Structure 1
Amino acid sequence: MLHSLQARLAAMLAIGLAVLSLIAATAAFRVLREEIDRMSDSALQETAQRIVPLAVKDILDREQQNSTERIAGVRPHGELLTYIVRDQKGATLLQSHDANPAIFPPALKPGFTSTRTHRLYTETVLQGTVSLTIAEALEARHRAGIEAALAVVKPLLLVVPLGVIGAWLVVRSGLRPIRLFCDGIAARGRDDLSPLGKAGMVAEIEPIADSVNDLMQRLDRALTAERSFTANSAHELRTPIAAALAQTQRLISETRGTSIETRAQNVEAALHTLARLSEKLMQLARAEGGSILSEATQDLRPILQMVVEDIGRAERSSELRLTLPEQAVHSRIDPDAFAILARNLIENAIRHGTTAEAIRIALSSEGRLSVTNHGPIVATDKLSRLIQPFERGVTTARGSGLGLAIANAIAQAAGARLTLHSPPPGMTDGFEALVENLRDSESHHGPST
């Protein structure tokens, strides 16, 4: 089944051309057959009328000789037309050397007659006392018809393929505006929902472009409202959460040694979790809201080093090993966005990895960032779901389920790609988050100064 409009139209045109060619060839063959029959009958009649006087003269010159005579040819040859001359009693007076009397029925009336194998024409003279019958094998007519049909079909064998190629090129050229329209949509950035330009667009495509532009405008409004709501909600929650946390901490200090202290500490832990969740929601809203790429490029190495040092001071129980290339890694990704991406990947490794082994953070000169930790193996069918918001693996560690979703959203917006492996290549356990294509392809590739 053809799913391509171009292939479908080309196939329909090709089939139509082939059918029309077949109909034209069939009609031409029928006309040729009729013309061959008409011309052959005319040739039979004219030949008979020319031979009759010669045959009569030859018979009279023999002084009424009764023996049957055959006209000897100059050399042996096959006759296309054979004839026989008879008197009124049916006796053969004269015949061509290849004539077979069995194919000439007796007592034929003047005019045309057809048998199963031959076409015959009879002419009478001398008041009907002498008749000449000339015969042509129908096989010869059939052979001539086949040769005529081949003469018609042979050009079609060339014309039809050329027509198919021409139909394909015509359809391809006619559908070029649609391909350009689709390529323009595909070349857009992940968050580019601006209206499509209609300059040079054919009239048949303009309604589609208008519908797509209308759809993108409605989608842009919906996404903007959703992101605004998420960001504003998370931002507005920060102040009351901070106030509630301060009051809870004061309550803990005032209830030392009482049963209320434990309950207040539980409330404090819940508020810390809520504060982290609101922070992650703000990060997610920014990651999905665009502005991930900046106009100028910057070296990612100092940004990553600063993030690792900051996390290392806060998470002293985990060892972080950072590997940076000697060559600068230039990228157009916004520094704050890259810091958020790296922080989420490292915090995810700390939260779900084992503290007995160091967490390895590596940035390559080709723009690949990898964060690897030891720990339980994550099932393959669950890896792809971990980049979805609020999706968590089988773990008892605290978390919101947003860290990998934030990192993936930033990576996609920057034109990079986040892939997850468990276990990492060369390891028997653990987890690796790998971000590729962070480096700007047009940036300077020489060593940093």
Structure 2
Amino acid sequence: MAAAHNSLAGRLTRTLILSVGAIWLLCVLAVVWYVDREISFNFDNELVEVSHRMFDIAVEQYDSLSEGHVPAQALVAPPPLFIQDEVVYQMVDGGTRPLLRSSNARPDYFDVPLAPGFAVTPDWRIYTVRHPTRDLYLQVADPIAERREAVDRTLFGLMVPLATALPLLGLVLWRIARAELRPLQTLAQEIAQRGSTDLRPIELAGLPKELRSVSDDVNRLLERLAHALDVERALAANAAHELRTPLAAARLRLQTALDHGLARSDVEAALEALRQLSHRAEKLLQLSRAESAAALARRPVDLVKLAGTVAEEFWQDARAAQRLVLHLPEEALAPAQGDVDALAIALRNLIENALRYAREGVVDLEVAAPATLVVRDAGPGVPPEQLKALRERHVRQTDDRTGYGLGLSIVSTIAQQQGAALSLISPPPGRGCGFEARLVLGS
């Protein structure tokens, strides 16, 4: 029962009932105020009409009863044929001396100033009219209770339907609310069914606009969760694949060094294996960062400064300094849009690949318009049928096992995240051999 009271359908029903009841009550009060005015207006018109008609009758009755002598006290008119319809009135002269009074009238009924028009006592509404030719006044009294009774009947007639209709209206609104909120329950059930093993997008037809936006947001969240889980699984798989060999090599070399008295060559071989392990771990972290969509930032990037910074890192190695040549444009370039860290990772991988596969040849790093980074080497190149496969993981340009097969995959992922175009060309235009990677960014 408590759950039903706290349900959205129950809360919506209560809110609607209270709102409708409050609006209805305000309307009833407004109608009662208006009806009270109309009833008073109609009663007053009737009172005026009766007063005018009764004046001649009252004068005739007074003249016939007095028969020429001045009465010491007010005369009492004979009762009418229908007592329940008798009009309460009295006639006075200009000195407020009572002359004639209806049989059901008492002097205290007319305790108001003598002046033409309406006057009110706690129990009566008095209308006073003056005779047009004689110094006579007729005062007719109408009971206030009759007016109140008419207003009460009107109010009762309006409140009874309200009290009767509200429960029925509540039931109808509750059923309507439950029916209209059924898509929300269906959406909640679909969301509850999703988990680490089921991240399918939610597809429900006929959802209202508000729930459709919620469904779209949940689907985007599920998509990001699925991508994050894929990155996590891929990182684990790549780590198991790439780190197994250098770990085994380092363990074997160290064990050999221990068995043979720590020979220098074995220790150096173990250090080389550990260096390869560190390098591969760095590549895996780069790949994980690229695939986790961390490279989605869009900020102005100075490609000349970026290329110079990355080139200086390689120039610190004497062998790379002799082979890596930086070519900069003569005119200033407009900044590109992207993430500077992600683009630096992509550029490093392109240069590492070129230095590795160029066979001691020169590697050209060029910044060109519009917003283009080019890495070109004079190595043996890649057959056309292998160019497309180079973007996949663990695919190498040669079979000498010197690389890890991750560099171009990392570059391709970053380019996709940055909305850039990556072109792999072999041989470069105007050359007989070599390999060129061209990264075109948005400006």
Structure of larger gyration radius: 2
Normalised by the length of structure 1, the TM-score is 0.47
| Bigger relative contact order (CA 8 A; separation at least 6) | 1
Hey, which of these two has a bigger chunk of helix by percent? 2
